[in-house]
């Protein structure tokens, strides 16, 4: 039923190859021939079969994006940005979801879960360095996010330590001194690798403010519920912070909920800063101050990295060196730290700082 080059060629009275040439805009085709072929194409409604084309070319035009879960709006928003960025290069995006589980991340990193792809953009959560060591380098890989690896793959993330420090700095500037950190629950092996926690500690230490472990708490998972429970546990333990810096916005939203249930006012009693700048944070009863990564830039860099590897190193990609690409971020101040009157209407809150992006060598 579908129309092939052969059908068009017969109708136009030319060879298959000539039709192919017309379709691919090759030079050296007479305007007359081109017109005749084009007419046949239009008449039959021919469209190239991408599968055959890809078999021939060795490329599929698809890149996989593997994220922990789409239900986390940060990843949904990031996915939209990646779809846009890929679209600009006429690539489509196959979405994969790892659940943040290590074994799924390993499979995704090797392209086992989605074999019809030219490249992989992976946002790992529990993946270990060792998991990447055994990888065959047939398919280009780019890593996103806070976790850092030694493996020779491009890594794209905002400067997490600097971003965390900016958030904590903001809280210090507001006069807060008992600033808690509510983190995500990851495999225990990863804990030392939490850059945002490191930033929290560094900024407090630099300011001469105590950063005791009693102010650090983690929820189960990285969602709203985990944040709420962790915050409740912190309050139950008798600790009474005057500010919270959360690993991400979802956790921060859970924190807001827990504070609300205890009758604590935000920001009067406790100021809260999140991380990710998801849309949800702008529309709660108390809009959320947050670190806003430049998602568009992250997506564009990721896609460019994959396509660059495809275009450049054919086989020689191994050891071609990794790059650390750091897009910019902003600290967006909203009601959860500066209050209603000062922050103004949601969505138009003040932006404190613009931290430019840049690439640091490895």
CA quadruple 303, 308, 311, 316: dihedral sign: negative
Q: Which does 16 bind (CB under 5 to 8 A by kind): DNA, a copy of itself, none?
A: DNA
Q: Given candidates 35, 43, 55, 133, which one binds a copy of itself under the rule CB under 8 A?
A: 55
Query: Closest approach of Cβ 12 to DNA, in Å?
Result: 9
Q: Does 173 bind a copy of itself (CB under 8 A)?
A: no
Query: Closest approach of Cβ 110 to a copy of itself, in Å?
Result: 10
Q: Report the SS3 class of residue 19.
A: helix
Query: Closest approach of Cβ 335 to a copy of itself, in Å?
Result: 11
Reading the block at residue 9, the tokens are: 């060629």
Query: Closest approach of Cβ 15 to DNA, in Å?
Result: 3
Distance of CA 276 to the CA centre of its chain: 10
Distance of CA 306 to the CA centre of its chain: 14
Q: Does 73 bind a copy of itself (CB under 8 A)?
A: yes
Residues in Cβ contact with 67 at an 8 Å cutoff, skipping those fewer than 6 apart: 75, 78, 79, 95, 96, 97, 98, 123
Q: Given candidates 35, 71, 133, 189, which one binds a copy of itself under the rule CB under 8 A?
A: 71
Q: Which does 17 bind (CB under 5 to 8 A by kind): a copy of itself, DNA, none?
A: DNA
Reading the block at residue 183, the tokens are: 């983190």
Query: Closest approach of Cβ 75 to a copy of itself, in Å?
Result: 8
Q: Which does 35 bind (CB under 5 to 8 A by kind): DNA, a copy of itself, none?
A: none
- Pick from 352, 257, 306, 284: nearest CA to 73: 284
Q: Which does 107 bind (CB under 5 to 8 A by kind): DNA, a copy of itself, none?
A: none
Q: Does 5 bind DNA (CB under 7 A)?
A: yes
Q: Given candidates 18, 21, 60, 123, which one binds a copy of itself under the rule CB under 8 A?
A: 60
- Pick from 196, 186, 187: nearest CA to 222: 186
Binding mask 285-324 for a copy of itself (x = CB under 8 A): xx----------------------------x---------
Integer Cα distance of 160 and 293 in angstroms: 10
User: 16-41: b or e for each residue (b if 16 or more CB lie within 10 Å)?
Assistant: eebbbbbbeeeeebeeebeebbeebb
- Nearest 5°: CA angle at 45, between 43 and 48? 135
* Dihedrals phi, psi of 338, to nearest 5 degrees: -105, 0
Q: Given candidates 16, 29, 44, 95, which one binds a copy of itself under the rule CB under 8 A?
A: 95
Integer Cα distance of 156 and 305 in angstroms: 9
- Compare residues 10 and 69 and give the one whose CB is closer to DNA: 10
Q: Given candidates 24, 92, 177, 237, which one binds a copy of itself under the rule CB under 8 A?
A: 92
- Pick from 211, 277, 282, 223: nearest CA to 255: 223
Q: Given candidates 23, 44, 62, 264, which one binds a copy of itself under the rule CB under 8 A?
A: 62
Binding mask 16-55 for DNA (x = CB under 7 A): xxx-xx-xx-xxxxx-xxx-----------x-xx--xx-x
Distance of CA 79 to the CA centre of its chain: 7
Q: Does 268 bind a copy of itself (CB under 8 A)?
A: no
Q: Which does 24 bind (CB under 5 to 8 A by kind): a copy of itself, DNA, none?
A: DNA
Q: Report the SS3 class of residue 115.
A: coil
Q: Report the SS3 class of residue 209.
A: coil
Give me the count of residues in the chain: 362
Residues lying near a copy of itself in the complex (CB under 8 A): 1-2, 45, 47, 49-52, 54-55, 60-62, 69-71, 73, 76-77, 79-80, 83, 92-97, 113-116, 136, 138, 223-225, 228, 253-254, 256-257, 260, 279-280, 282-286, 315, 346-347
Residues lying near DNA in the complex (CB under 7 A): 2, 4-6, 14-18, 20-21, 23-24, 26-30, 32-34, 46, 48-49, 52-53, 55-58
């Amino acid at each position: 039923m579908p129309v092939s080059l052969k059908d068009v060629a017969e109708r136009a009275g030319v060879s298959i190859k000539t039709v192919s040439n017309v379709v691919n805009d090759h030079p050296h085709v007479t305007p007359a021939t081109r017109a005749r072929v084009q007419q046949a194409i239009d008449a039959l409604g021919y469209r190239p079969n991408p599968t055959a084309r890809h078999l021939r070319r060795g490329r599929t035009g698809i890149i996989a994006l593997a994220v922990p879960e789409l239900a986390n709006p940060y990843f949904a928003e990031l996915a939209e940005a990646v779809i846009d960025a890929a679209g600009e290069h006429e690539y489509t995006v196959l979405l994969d979801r790892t659940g943040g589980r290590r074994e799924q991340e390993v499979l995704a990193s090797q392209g086992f879960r989605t074999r019809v792809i030219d490249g992989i953009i992976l946002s790992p959560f529990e993946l270990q360095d060792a998991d990447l060591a055994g990888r065959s380098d047939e398919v280009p890989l780019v890593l996103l996010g806070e976790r850092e690896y030694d493996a020779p793959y491009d890594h794209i993330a905002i400067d997490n330590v600097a971003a965390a420090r900016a958030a904590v700095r903001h809280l210090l500037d507001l006069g807060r001194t008992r600033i808690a950190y509510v983190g995500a629950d990851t495999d225990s092996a990863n804990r030392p690798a939490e850059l945002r926690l490191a930033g929290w500690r560094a900024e407090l230490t630099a300011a001469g403010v105590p950063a005791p472990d009693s102010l650090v708490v983690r929820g189960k998972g990285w969602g709203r519920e985990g944040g709420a429970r962790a915050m409740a546990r912190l309050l139950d333990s008798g600790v009474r912070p005057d500010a919270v810096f959360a690993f991400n916005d979802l956790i921060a939203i859970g924190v807001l909920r827990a504070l609300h249930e205890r009758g604590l006012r935000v920001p009067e009693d406790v100021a809260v800063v999140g991380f990710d700048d998801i849309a949800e944070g702008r529309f709660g009863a108390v809009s959320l101050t947050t670190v806003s990564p430049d998602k568009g830039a992250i997506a564009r860099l990721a896609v460019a990295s994959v396509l660059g590897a495809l275009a450049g190193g054919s086989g020689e990609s191994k050891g071609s060196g990794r790059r650390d690409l750091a897009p910019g971020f902003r600290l967006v101040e909203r009601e959860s730290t500066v209050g209603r009157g000062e922050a103004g209407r949601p969505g138009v809150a003040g932006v404190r700082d613009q931290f430019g992006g840049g690439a640091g060598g490895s």
